[in-house]
A and B are shown apart, each in its own frame.
Chain A
Amino acid sequence: MSASEVQTFTPREFHRQAHDALGNPQIRANFRKAMDGLMAKRRDVFSDWDLETLRELGANIRLRALAKLPDLLERLEANCQANGIQVHWAENGDEACRIIRGICERHGAKAVIKGKSMVSEEMHLNAHLEAAGIEALESDLGEYLVQLNEQTPSHIIMPAIHLNTDEISDIMHTRTGTERTRDVDTMTAAARAQLRERFMAADVGVSGVNFAVAETGTLCLVENEGNGRMTTAVPPVHIAVTGIEKVVEHLSDVPPLYALLTRSATGQHVTTYLNMISSPRKPGEHDGPNEVHLVLVDSGRSSIYQDDELLDTLRCIRCGACMNHCPVYTRVGGHTYGTTYPGPIGSILMPHMMGLEATKDLPTASSLCGACGEVCPVKIPIPDLLVRLRRESVGEGRGNVPGAGVKRSKKEVAVWKGFQWLATHPRGWRSSTAIAGKLQALMPSKLGPWTEYRTAPKPAKVSLHALVKRHQAGKFDEDGEERS
């Protein structure tokens, strides 16, 4: 897409957006190349690890944090406050935006510089601040490029992964006057120069949090670029914003999660920086912000928390491995999902945030191949959760997801009841000579799309039931019991 086209995406248009993405060779090539590379790097970097044991530990650390969540949040708050970090709570994204805007306004802030934060994307913080006359500039290179192009990230770790070098050169040229080049070092140096001025001029830095340590009141940020360190150390005020599930109990819980995160996300054995912040600038210290704020956002998380099965969604450490390994994401790209979090994790998380009505095509946008669950560093059973949300969609779950039952249709229920009748009446199943034809008529929708790309399966003239009967004639009775 050229720099001038601004496109908006919504989960309601998944099918149309998927159609467009599938027909776009550039998108297809960019994602395929990137995902192939990421999968190979992850495989290599874990090759000398006891990965299953490490994943088990990661899962148990996250489950322990969730088991103690309310206590840990209170402990995090108390320890942060004791360290001088101001803690705020927000029921939803709007409230979080208002809190952040309020802090900015108290400081007369006109310019906010941002480190990467998916939670801030989730609440559309930039638009909220801009509406209040406060400029919010992304500083992660990928986020910066996406913002220049008036887009949203297409991947939670690599926001600009949908763009190739030429497209980025175009964007930087059009938006910043950078000379056109195919040299990545030149473009990177140009962005460095552009953003350094903005760091110095920024009134407030806004960042996300990878792990918030309850035991010590420490905010951990994982990154390669150094923009996160800049954001949290150069402006006079730092606001960290995060979901309430990001808390971990102990500082010693961080090393295993960090080991899993970097290897799962980008196949790196470690990132350039692990930045651990426990307080604002203390008396006698010479740099760092004078104020640090932590905004804890719920936005549907406490609702997910209620249900033993759905709870597993909250284990996520946002590595993106599930999307890197998803054959659907690889084909359609991140924007097609029309949600802040795309891919498998988005499909199990966004229905809680946006409701199943808006997101009803997401839980079905998976062949349940299991690749996501296989690579998840904290062993979230993503395929099972996709099935659970399908149940909720058709009104056969527990009804505790917003929009539950939205996909329940009389026609489809009739189809499955028909299937149930046939499959529980073996004589009917067997005696029906044109059974395949009948099943075809019972399929949820027409077989049309199948035959557009593939030859239709041909029902066999003689079923296996009948073949076996002939084969084993006389050996067994009707129910498979051996005749005495």
Chain B
Amino acid sequence: MSARDNILKRLRERTDGPLTAPPSNFAVVTGRGWSQQERLTRFERWITSVHGEVVHTPRDDWTIALAEVLEAKGIRRLALGREHPVAAEARAALAEGDIVLIDADRDIETWRHEQFHDTDAGLTSTRGAIAETGSLWLWPTSDEPRLLSLVPPIHIAVLDADTIEDTFFDVVESHGWANGMPTNALLISGPSKTADIEQTLAYGVHGPRELVVLLRHAEEYP
């Protein structure tokens, strides 16, 4: 018999007999009932508590905020997608400037060295965020591949305020994640960090040192 069959047989022919599954009550991880303002406040409080930066911007002028972030951080070479409206709008806005736009929508094998050594920042869209933990959720695509949010030293993520939901459980349930998971689904809560050297926090150990969230508001943000 194969290892598989042996293991399954032992589990099925359990000495103490079949087990009964207890019910699970998920009430404790849902039903927060927060207002939009509470969601925003919580999201911002949590993500900044782990070193994420939040830049509020009107929906329509967000590329101005992007340009300011690029300027402030001295970003010269920005990797980004092409198809997603976030990437398309960024490309249009930055076309005339002196920022080098690096195409992320190509096989990594063709530009790995460039991505690891010669890219200042990666720009991605997000699908939404979680107020309770200050987390962004990303489903990388061929347009915005998974390493775009990981390898460059700065990750700039664009988030729409009205896509922030209360809890992770709420996101999984309301968007039917279980009906079709992508190759890679990610929650990102702040920049890469470690406390492995005597409990001292240090950022950017493997992934980005900085995470900037461009938080887009449909209406004027107070």
A and B touch in the complex (CB under 8 A): yes
Whether a CB of chain B sits under 8 angstroms from the CB of A274 is yes
Whether a CB of chain B sits under 8 angstroms from the CB of A348 is no
B2 near A89 (CB under 8 angstroms)? Answer: yes
Taking A266-B195, A276-B185 as contacts, is the C-beta distance between A286 and B108 under 8 angstroms?
yes
- Distance in Å: Cβ of B198 to nearest Cβ of chain A: 5
Whether a CB of chain B sits under 8 angstroms from the CB of A380 is no
Whether a CB of chain B sits under 8 angstroms from the CB of A273 is yes
Question: Which A residue's beta carbon lies closest to that of B149?
Answer: A229
A262-305 interface mask toward B, CB cutoff 8 Å, 1 = contact, 0 = none? 00001011111111111111101111100000001010001101
Chain B residues numbered 84-111 whose CB sits less than 8 Å from any CB in chain A: 104-108
- Distance in Å: Cβ of A196 to nearest Cβ of chain B: 6
Cα–Cα distance between A34 and B172 once the two chains are bound (Å): 35
Whether a CB of chain A sits under 8 angstroms from the CB of B128 is no
Whether a CB of chain A sits under 8 angstroms from the CB of B178 is yes
Question: Which B residue's beta carbon lies closest to that of A139?
Answer: B206
Complex partner residue of B24 from A60, A164, A273, A279, CB under 8 angstroms = A60
- Distance in Å: Cβ of B114 to nearest Cβ of chain A: 12
Complex partner residue of A165 from B112, B145, B193, B198, CB under 8 angstroms = B198
Whether a CB of chain B sits under 8 angstroms from the CB of A142 is yes
Taking A63-B22, A168-B198, A227-B205 as contacts, is the C-beta distance between A274 and B187 under 8 angstroms?
yes
B207 near A272 (CB under 8 angstroms)? Answer: yes
Whether a CB of chain A sits under 8 angstroms from the CB of B29 is yes
- Contacting residues, chain A, for B178 (C-beta < 8 A): 215-216, 250-252
A272 near B193 (CB under 8 angstroms)? Answer: yes
Cα–Cα distance between A230 and B24 once the two chains are bound (Å): 34
- Contacting residues, chain A, for B20 (C-beta < 8 A): 67
Whether a CB of chain B sits under 8 angstroms from the CB of A328 is no
Complex partner residue of A233 from B46, B134, B184, B187, CB under 8 angstroms = B184
B150 near A184 (CB under 8 angstroms)? Answer: no
A307 near B16 (CB under 8 angstroms)? Answer: yes
B206 near A225 (CB under 8 angstroms)? Answer: yes
Taking A57-B24, A270-B134 as contacts, is the C-beta distance between A307 and B116 under 8 angstroms?
no
- Contacting residues, chain B, for A287 (C-beta < 8 A): 107-108, 145-147
Please choose the segment from A5-13, A187-195, A381-389 that sits at the chain B interface, where 4 or more of its residues have CB less than 8 A away. Answer: A187-195
Complex partner residue of A285 from B6, B183, B185, B194, CB under 8 angstroms = B183
Taking A192-B205, A196-B116 as contacts, is the C-beta distance between A302 and B7 under 8 angstroms?
yes
Whether a CB of chain B sits under 8 angstroms from the CB of A392 is no
B10 near A303 (CB under 8 angstroms)? Answer: yes
Question: Which A residue's beta carbon lies closest to that of B23?
Answer: A60
Complex partner residue of A270 from B27, B112, B133, B196, CB under 8 angstroms = B133
Whether a CB of chain A sits under 8 angstroms from the CB of B37 is no
Q: How many A-B residue pairs have CB under 8 A?
A: 255
- Contacting residues, chain A, for B72 (C-beta < 8 A): none
Chain B residues numbered 11-58 whose CB sits less than 8 Å from any CB in chain A: 11-12, 14-16, 18-29, 46, 49-50
Question: Which B residue's beta carbon lies closest to that of A252?
Answer: B172
Complex partner residue of B21 from A63, A217, A288, CB under 8 angstroms = A63
- Contacting residues, chain B, for A244 (C-beta < 8 A): 7, 11
- Contacting residues, chain B, for A280 (C-beta < 8 A): 183
Q: Count contacts on A: residues with CB < 8 A to the other chain.
A: 101
B205 near A226 (CB under 8 angstroms)? Answer: yes
A68 near B200 (CB under 8 angstroms)? Answer: no
A278 near B150 (CB under 8 angstroms)? Answer: no
Question: Which A residue's beta carbon lies closest to that of B143?
Answer: A286
- Distance in Å: Cβ of A116 to nearest Cβ of chain B: 10
Complex partner residue of A286 from B106, B150, B185, CB under 8 angstroms = B106
B133 near A305 (CB under 8 angstroms)? Answer: no
Cα–Cα distance between A362 and B169 once the two chains are bound (Å): 38
Question: Which B residue's beta carbon lies closest to that of A30?
Answer: B198
Question: Which A residue's beta carbon lies closest to that of B134?
Answer: A270
- Distance in Å: Cβ of B157 to nearest Cβ of chain A: 13
- Distance in Å: Cβ of B79 to nearest Cβ of chain A: 12
A188 near B197 (CB under 8 angstroms)? Answer: yes
B150 near A226 (CB under 8 angstroms)? Answer: yes
A307 near B177 (CB under 8 angstroms)? Answer: no
Taking A89-B3, A90-B3 as contacts, is the C-beta distance between A305 and B11 under 8 angstroms?
yes
- Contacting residues, chain B, for A302 (C-beta < 8 A): 7, 10-11
B150 near A225 (CB under 8 angstroms)? Answer: no
- Contacting residues, chain A, for B113 (C-beta < 8 A): 200
Whether a CB of chain B sits under 8 angstroms from the CB of A23 is no
Given A57-B28, A67-B20, A226-B207, 12 new contacts (CB under 8 A): A53-B28, A54-B28, A57-B26, A141-B205, A142-B194, A184-B198, A233-B184, A253-B24, A273-B187, A287-B147, A306-B15, A311-B19
16 A-B residue pairings within 8 Å (CB atoms): A54-B29, A67-B20, A163-B198, A164-B198, A184-B200, A188-B194, A192-B204, A225-B192, A227-B206, A251-B177, A259-B29, A273-B187, A285-B145, A286-B142, A296-B7, A400-B15
10 tightest CB-CB pairs across the interface, nearest first? A226-B207, A142-B196, A226-B206, A67-B19, A270-B133, A89-B4, A67-B21, A188-B202, A287-B108, A274-B187
Which of A's residues lie within 8 Å of B, judged by CB?
30, 33-34, 37, 49-50, 53-54, 56-57, 60-61, 63-64, 66-70, 73-74, 89-91, 95, 139-142, 145, 158-161, 163-165, 168, 184-185, 187-189, 191-192, 195-196, 200, 215-218, 224-227, 229-230, 233-234, 244, 250-256, 258-259, 266, 268-282, 284-288, 296, 298, 302-303, 305-308, 311, 400
